[in-house]
Amino acid sequence: MNILLLGYGKMGQLIGQIAESRGHQIAGKINIDNREELEQLDPGKIDVAIEFSQPEAAVENISWCLERNIPILSGTTGWLDRKTDLDQLTLEKNGAFFYASNYSIGVNIFFKVNEFLARLMNEASGYKVSIEEIHHTAKKDAPSGTAITLAEGIMNNLKGYSKWHLSDGTHENEQSISITSKRIDPAPGTHIIRYHSEIDDIEISHTAHSRQGFALGAVLVAEWIKGKKGVLSMDDFLSF
């Protein structure tokens, strides 16, 4: 399979290494320094694109692929206010667009555990939920896309919460999920869900030890998406 890499930072490089180790070829490695090379590529020779770039480049990258009937999966966060537009473009072009805030299989299991715990907490009183996420200092967006997905999982399953906010350490909104973002090297990603009461705390957490799980998950999705159509997600891939 010929894979186009859109974004060639640490994640893109690791994805490329894993893809090649699984017998795939890299059709192009595009980043901010060589974007002009994108127009020189033959779309007919690209089976799938994997997009891990920057928020300001993601929409253009994804649109470029959809316009050329190239299945694309993206893991870039910080641009989701435009996702509805890209979903619509996917349907108009009868293309394939896969988005996930996190491609780690372990994290996606954690998403389901988070939702299950949120449903259980409807039966308890006196608890305030919050989220803490820790990433390396090179991560530009805050909160992380994974933290936002976790907040959405809580809001969809626990009564009384309809929004989240990035905590600044001052007065907290009781009806909003507080997300604390920390940037500490070399942390690849830790997410903690905490239910606090005067009596006790309940916590669940996921800690990544490296980027390996994220990169492998992206390659597995790239292998899976070929021949599929529509707006897709990890729920489609994992069939939970």
List the catalytic residues: 135, 139
Which tokens belong to 53? 């770039």
Please report which helix (H) or strand (E) contains residue 95, including its range.
none
Classify 62 in phi/psi space as left (phi over 0), alpha (psi -120 to 50) or beta. Answer: alpha
The C-alpha R_g of the chain, in whole angstroms, comes to 19
Q: What is the DSSP letter of 165?
A: E
Residues 6+ apart with CB under 8 A from 108: 100, 102, 217, 234, 238, 240
Beta bridge partners of 28: 4
Task: Report yes or no: 225 and 218 within 8 Å, Cβ to Cβ.
Answer: no
Bridge partners of 73?
50, 98
Cα distance between residue 116 and residue 167, in whole Å: 24
**H/E run at residue 104:** none
Cis peptide before 43 (omega within 30 of 0): no
Report the side by side order of strands in the sheet with 176-183.
163-166, 176-183, 128-135, 190-196, 201-207
